[in-house]
Structure 1
Amino acid sequence: MARFIRKLLPRRWRPDYLEIPVVRLQGVIMSGGGPFRQNLSLASTAAVLEKAFAEKDAPAVAISVNSPGGSPVQSRLIYRRIRDLAEEKNKKVYVFVEDVAASGGYMIAVAGDEIIADPSSIVGSIGVVSASFGFTDLIKKIGVERRVHTAGKNKATLDPFRPENKEDVEHLKALQLEIHGTFIDLVKERRGEKLSDNPDLFTGLFWTGTRGVELGLVDGLGDMRSYLRSQYGPKTQLRLISAPRGLFGRKVPSVDIKFDGIGSGFANGLIDAAEERALWSRFGL
């Protein structure tokens, strides 16, 4: 209410501080949601991004990123929405890396006009990975017969209950190389001549924020409050933007419809939680 009243006042009567809206993007990047994880997707972030960029008096939007990656599609959709809003609203975007902005998390980070990290932040991991398990020996031991019937000879590609097939792996590698190329092109487009010529830059390796500055993946080191005050003055204030609220003040939830039974949904949630834990653990977190 106080902010609304201030906006009604003539500009000369308003407080002389500058307010920068802040959006916090944290979690594994994947579509959908559930009780076992906090995830990022276009659906879960679109409303809060729109709200932040709608602040007319703010010259910039600050985005805090803390993500080990995930879906390349959702990563690019979030990246594209940030850039579209920045151009539409004519605002500068500052991205501040917390613990990690790796893989899809770094793809989101390059939406920033400037990327600032902590010296110990983890950045990079510009690559594509797919992981699964093979259960062929297990089902033999427990006496289970696998029966798969398809229309289309490739419909059961990469079935974890069948022996790995060389042609299946080659097809997967081709897809990965295509997605990897899209990722590399996006980073080069946004970072341009800032990037070093280090041959390991696009191999999937990751580095600290300090090394990221040397490689051109990051523009500087620091924390959000200090850095923005150095840019806009000591009276600069930060305001965290939360999800829009409904008629009775409750946050408007994103809708995630699944056609699973209760038991199936619970099992899927446990698997998703394990996958999320594995992504964070890869970076020692």
Structure 2
Amino acid sequence: MDGFSDLIGLMFWFLLLYLILHPQLQLRGLRAARLKLIRLIEEKYRWRVITMIHRQERMGFLGFPVYRFIDIEDSEAVIRAIRSIRPGETIALILHTPGGLVLAASQIAMALKKHRGKKIVIVPHYAMSGGTLIALAADEIIMDPDAVLGPL
């Protein structure tokens, strides 16, 4: 009976380790695939790609979903990325978001509008609320046929 309880204990620890590590490994794989596609877009079209992707991802403890939205950290990162792109270069902002803070979305939209070069927003699925505000600051919006923009 002692060997059986050791086996059960070992199986428990393996299961717990799997539940903790598996979501993190999946997220890492998703990010690597995303980065590869971004590089392909940049090479093919000669655009500078910035992403703001807020999807429900299982990245918390034991894979519980974490919901993301536009916040001040996003605005700081995206504005920094926009300003790092030389004037005259085309920016392609891939936007997938449920919206978020009005202040952050407004800051991003204003920085995008001020960039001296073509500005394209790509909406693969949805850009709601603040995401719509940001999209409207671009010169061109490219959307999937089933993608949606939301109300401001």
The alignment's TM-score, normalised by the length of structure 1, stands at 0.31
Q: Which residue of 2 aligns with 1:130?
A: none
SS at match of 1:40: coil
Whichever structure has more helix as a proportion of its residues is 2
Identity %: 25
| Superposed displacement of residue 21, structure 1 | 1.0
The partner residue of 2:98 within 68, 71, 74 is: 68
Distance 1:54 1:115 in 2: 22
Structure 1 stretches of 4+ moved >6 Å: none
Contact 1:63 1:96 in 2 (8 A): yes
Letter aligned with residue 122 of structure 2: F
Q: Which residue of 2 aligns with 1:25?
A: 52
Cα separation, partners in 2 of 1:77 and 1:57, compared to 1, 3 Å: closer
| Superposed displacement of residue 18, structure 1 | 6.3
Structure 2, unaligned runs of 5 or more? 1-43, 61-65
| Superposed displacement of residue 50, structure 1 | 2.6
1:100 and 2:130 correspond:
no
The alignment's TM-score, normalised by the length of structure 2, stands at 0.55
For CA contacts below 8 A with separation 6 or more, give which structure has more relative contact order: 1
Q: Deviations over 1:199-234 (max 9, x none)?
A: xxxxxxxxxxxxxxxxxxxxxxxxxxxxxxxxxxxx
- Size of the aligned set, in residue pairs, is 101
| Superposed displacement of residue 24, structure 1 | 0.8
SS at match of 1:50: helix
Contact 1:63 1:94 in 2 (8 A): yes
Structure 1, unaligned runs of 5 or more? 1-16, 29-34, 127-285
Q: Which residue of 1 aligns with 2:8?
A: none
| Superposed displacement of residue 46, structure 1 | 2.5
Question: How large is the RMSD of aligned CA atoms in angstroms?
Answer: 2.8
- Asked which structure has the greater CA Rg, the reply is 1
1:125 and 2:151 correspond:
yes
Distance 1:18 1:116 in 2: 14
